[in-house]
Amino acid sequence: MATSNINQLLMRNIDGLSATRPLLVNIEDHGFITQYLNHYSKASIDSYHTNYAQYKAYQQLNNAKISAHFCVEYIAKHKHDMAIIHFPKSKAEFAFTLAMLANSMTEDATIVIVGENKGGVKSADKLGTDYLDYCNKADAARHCLMYIAKFKASLPSFDLQSFYKYYSIQVQDKTLKIAALPGVFSQNSLDIGTEVLLENLPEVINGKVLDFGCGAGVIAAYIGTVHPTTQLTLVDVSALALHSAQTTLSLNQLSGEYIASNSLSDVKNSYDFVISNPPFHQGVKTHYAATEQFLSEIKQNLSSKGSITVVANSFLKYLPIMEKAIGDTKTLIIKKGFAVYQCYLNTKK
Confidence class for position 282, pLDDT limits 50, 70, 90: very low
| Per-residue pLDDT at 84 | 98
| Per-residue pLDDT at 16 | 96
Q: What is the pLDDT of residues 81-90, one digit of tens each?
A: 999 999 999 9
| Per-residue pLDDT at 185 | 86
- What is the CA 242 to chain-centroid distance, rounded? 9
Q: Is the dihedral angle over the CA atoms 113, 119, 123, 128 positive or is it negative?
A: negative
Residue-averaged pLDDT of the chain: 94
| Per-residue pLDDT at 182 | 96
| Per-residue pLDDT at 289 | 80
39 three-class SS: helix
Confidence class for position 95, pLDDT limits 50, 70, 90: very high
pTM, rounded to two decimals: 0.95
CA dist 318 and 14 (Å) reads 42
Query: Residue 310: pLDDT above 70?
Result: yes
| Per-residue pLDDT at 186 | 79
Q: What is the pLDDT of residues 211-256, one digit of tens each?
A: 999 999 999 999 999 999 999 999 999 999 999 999 999 999 999 9
Mean predicted confidence (pLDDT) in 193-214: 97
What are the structural domains of the chain?
5-155 (3.40.50.150), 164-344 (3.40.50.150)
Mean predicted confidence (pLDDT) in 6-29: 97
Mean predicted confidence (pLDDT) in 331-348: 91
| Per-residue pLDDT at 290 | 80
Task: Kindly state the DSSP code that residue 234 receives in the 8-state scheme.
Answer: E
Query: Residue 11: pLDDT above 90?
Result: yes
CA dist 187 and 241 (Å) reads 10
DSSP string, 190-225: --HHHHHHHTT--S---SEEEEET-TTTHHHHHHHH
Contact yes or no for 267/235 (Cβ under 8 A): yes
Query: Residue 283: pLDDT above 50?
Result: no
Task: Count the helices and strands in the chain (H runs, E runs).
Answer: 10, 18
Query: Residue 342: pLDDT above 90?
Result: yes
Residue 203 to residues 102, 112, 257, Cα–Cα distance (Å): 49, 52, 23
Contact yes or no for 50/237 (Cβ under 8 A): no
| Per-residue pLDDT at 285 | 44
Q: What is the pLDDT of residues 33-86, one digit of tens each?
A: 999 999 999 999 999 999 999 999 999 999 999 999 999 999 999 999 999 999
Q: What is the pLDDT of residues 145-194, one digit of tens each?
A: 999 999 999 999 999 999 999 999 999 899 999 999 999 987 788 999 99
| Per-residue pLDDT at 281 | 52
Task: Kindly state the DSSP code that residue 156 receives in the 8-state scheme.
Answer: P
